[in-house]
Amino acid sequence: MPFKLPSGAIVPIPAFGTGTKWYKPGDPAISRPVVDALVSAIKAGYRHIDGAEVYGTEPEIGVAIKETGVARDQLFVTTKVISAISDPRKALEASLAKLQLDYVDLYLIHSPFFGKETHGLTLREAWDVLTELKREGKAKDIGVSNFAVADLKQLEGAEEKVAVNQIEFNPYLQNQTPGIVEYSQSHDILIEAYTPLVSLSARATGGPVDEVVNRLATKYGKTAGQVILKWVVQRGIIPVTTSADPARQASNLDLSGFELTAEEVEQINQAGAKKHVRVYWTDKYE
């Protein structure tokens, strides 16, 4: 089933991330490896690019889009605001200039960790500015990232509904914060999963999910990465992944031609629940 936003836009999957291994805050020089990875990913068929002002890679996204020549309306570009959250309008205008774009497809408040005392505005006030930016067409859809249930509740009753909550999600972290997936999904808030492939990384390999993932990879003739990303999708969640390797870029994109059974989805759920791995926001959440 396609992932659809309130604007009617279909969200292409998976998203190609420009944070994590590409993160270069405070460095204005264009990084050729970041541009090359993006060009390779877009040429491979990725149409969803996940950016953020804090990653420092918005200029590379702009250059890569120009270099590939793919039409703007064929791309789905996300960016996020956090360091510049005290003025979300100015932040989006700065992001658009770096991206060399007139609008983003999705604009996210990157984290809920700010307030009147620290940045001069509440979550709700920041959200109301994003709502204006949506009305003006500068952001086709708007959402949040790393929000817990209590944060989302602060935006209930707002003029514009939260379209997306991008959170850390993988077999070893199936709820970034208590009840967040169920709450979001039952309120028609699409979840995006970052760090979906952590069980394949040195940080978590050798854990309880490997046996089931490898068995399913053999059964379907797919890679472990494809099985995990498919599991994410079948949980009703949009994967946000990245790779410098063209072969991995291609295989992570190719999630068609197989379907896990409900029982196999449950096997990954159960095996993953036996271990806990959190990579981000460890100072905020256990």
Ligand X SMILES: NC(=O)c1ccc[n+]([C@@H]2O[C@H](COP(=O)([O-])OP(=O)(O)OC[C@H]3O[C@@H](n4cnc5c(N)ncnc54)[C@H](OP(=O)(O)O)[C@@H]3O)[C@@H](O)[C@H]2O)c1
What is the separation of C-alpha 44 from the centre of its chain, rounded to a whole number of angstroms? 19
Residues 152-171, one symbol each (x = binds ligand X by CB under 6 A, - = not), give --------------x-----
Nearer to ligand X, 168 or 264 (CB): 168
Exactly one of 197, 204, 213, 255 binds ligand X (CB under 6 A); that residue is 197
Residue 176 lies near ligand X (rule: CB under 6 A): no
Exactly one of 19, 56, 171, 272 binds ligand X (CB under 6 A); that residue is 19
Residue nearest to ligand X (CB): 17
For residue 106, count other CB atoms closer than 10 A to its CB.
26
Which among 5, 11, 35, 13 is positioned nearest to 22, based on CA atoms? 35
CA distance 258 to 229: 12
Q: Is 175 helix (H, G, I), strand (E, B) or coil?
A: coil
Catalytic residue among 46, 55, 107, 183: 55
Count, residues near ligand X per rule CB under 6 A: 29
Nearer to ligand X, 138 or 143 (CB): 143
CA distance 19 to 153: 28
Exactly one of 9, 20, 103, 160 binds ligand X (CB under 6 A); that residue is 20
Residue 166 CB, shortest distance to ligand X, in Å, is 5
194 flagged as catalytic: no
Q: Answer for the pair 160, 154: CB distance below 8 angstroms, yes or no.
A: no
Residues with Cβ < 8 Å from 229, sequence gap 6 or more? 14, 196, 197, 239, 241, 252, 255
List of residues contacting ligand X (CB under 6 A) = 17-21, 50, 110, 145-146, 166, 194-198, 200-201, 223, 225, 240-245, 248, 251-252, 280
